[in-house]
Amino acid sequence: MTADSAHVTIRHVTVRGRVQGVGYRAFVVAAAETHGVEGWVRNRRDGTVEAVIAGPSSAVAVMIAACRRGPSMARVDALDDQPAVADLLRLRPLGEVFAALATL
């Protein structure tokens, strides 16, 4: 799958709650590998977690649902889900399908 494919959905997600220091990014990376989506996830200095998820719409929807749950130690208070552009996928290191990026 490539971000340029005709049937690819790309979403930008911001998650608020107890989502840092609880394995949230690792959870998102593992879920992305399971569901075959591209993108990245990172912590933000304001305490949120941000992710860009790209793939078939059904897989992206499953990923967003997983982000709403998070790992067992997390508490998701809110999730903002917006359309995104393929340019955001370029933030990943070259050759990585789904990456955990450094905190911004």
Active site residues: 25, 43
CA distances from 28 to 1, 2, 32, 92, 100 (A): 19, 19, 6, 15, 9
